[in-house]
Structure 1
Amino acid sequence: MRADAVRTRKQLLDAAAELFAEGGAEVSVAEIAERAGIGKGTVFRHFATKEDLIAAIVGDLLDDLVDAAEKRGSLREFMVYGVGRLADNRALCDVASGSVRHPDVQAGVERLNEAAQRLVDRAETREGVTGRDVVLLMTGVHQAAAPLRDAEPELWRRYLGFLLDGLLDTGSSAPHSRT
């Protein structure tokens, strides 16, 4: 690849990564091209579809989450790390929840679900909890806190604490109550 093409591709990937992190997978190719200072045609010369571009951006993020699931000692540690990553990247949240149908992305999400399942298998969770549940619940925590992200950027930690209290088996199947 020529040096100018390499530079253009890097500008494109940097712009796409920033915009997808800020706005999620719904960001338009036109917005990405504008941020990168290139034309839409140039985007499509590098990536045949927007989904290919998303896959290029979030593939490394999904790999990072899979790696985190394999290296974290507990389901709790993984979920704290994972929701933190989701809070920093809206596109990753979109991808983890299954809204992007690219085969590479779906394969990455499946690897993530499997890695989360291995953590679930080692943890004492309520009966029936799956790795997929964990991944979707992490996106749910992020989504619940997202409207207040600017005012309370750490709110997701509070919500994750509530979720973990209910998810992890406390020896009782009844919901916690205050009396």
Structure 2
Amino acid sequence: MTETPGTQPARRRAPAMDPEQRRAMIVAAALPLVVEYGASVTTAKIARAAGIGEGTIFRVFDDKDALLAACMAEVLRPDDTIAHLAAIPLDQPLADRLTEAADVVRGHLTRIGAVAGALMAGGRTEHPKPGPDGKLPDREAGLARPRAALAALFEPDRDDLRLSPERLADAFQLVIMASGRPGAPDPLTTAELVDLFLHGALRSSTPQ
């Protein structure tokens, strides 16, 4: 279609969606912009990235603060991480399973850090928001599902383990989280982390 010089191309109509689908679509478009611009990102910029009118944002979000809170809540959701952990083949050696798992969990933590860091750089600190039931999210509950997925990766080697898969998964999760702390001068590589976890710190404990 030929455009008349000096006119703006017609904005494409947003596809029909229910409110939850539209919220998810807007958040998905907003997340990379939040990482880039932090809390200063404008709703106009987000609307352009989503291919919608700016007013559409405010049909499903009360204001920009509500949208930014939804972005933080989305990046904290462990669903994708759990799905990736569940897809790791259990017929691989344990070290390979844990290496894949550590990369998955580290990626999730990196995404959380990118969004939280961008918002904090703009002077905004996100606090947990009540869910539909009016209750604040339980941090321990948010860690429990990924921990259960990690325990499943230890399960095939249960008979050779010094501790239960559940206890090892808890320790492994904590080690991964600690190894990715901001400002670490020389963070462990994934291979180093897994090797240290499985074989300890002493050279003599490493299998020959």
With structure 2 as the length reference, what TM-score do the two structures score?
0.49
User: How far is 1:18 from its partner?
Assistant: 0.9
Code of the residue aligned with 2:72 in structure 1: it is I
User: How far is 1:85 from its partner?
Assistant: 4.6
Name the CA shift for 1:118/1:21 in 2 (closer, same or farther; >3 Å).
farther
Q: Equivalent residues in 2 for 1:1-179 (5 A)?
A: 3=14, 9=23, 12-19=26-33, 21=35, 27-28=38-39, 30-31=40-41, 33=43, 35-36=45-46, 38=54, 42=58, 44-45=61-62, 48=66, 50-59=68-77, 62-72=78-88, 73=90, 74-87=97-110, 89-91=111-113, 101-102=128-129, 103=136, 106=139, 107-123=141-157, 127=163, 129-143=167-181, 159-168=189-198, 170=199, 175-177=201-203
What is the aligned-residue identity percentage? 19
Q: Name the CA distance, whole Å, in 1 between partners of 2:30 and 2:145.
A: 24
Q: Which runs of 5 or more structure 1 residues have no equivalent in the other structure? A: 149-154
Q: Which runs of 5 or more structure 2 residues have no equivalent in the other structure? A: 1-12, 48-53, 91-96, 117-125, 130-135
Q: Name the CA distance, whole Å, in 2 between partners of 1:17 and 1:105.
A: 23
SS of the aligned residue for 1:45 comes to coil
Q: Name the CA distance, whole Å, in 2 between partners of 1:66 and 1:21.
A: 23
User: How far is 1:167 from its partner?
Assistant: 0.6
Q: Name the CA distance, whole Å, in 2 between partners of 1:67 and 1:81.
A: 10
Output the aligned Cα RMSD. Answer: 4.6
Name the CA shift for 1:32/1:177 in 2 (closer, same or farther; >3 Å).
farther
Between Structure 1 and Structure 2, the one with more helix by share is 1
Code of the residue aligned with 1:45 in structure 2: it is D
Q: Structure 1, residues 118-167: CA drift from partner, whole Å, max 9, x if none?
A: 324445666585434333433333346x789xxxxxx97x6222211111
Aligned residue-pair number: 153
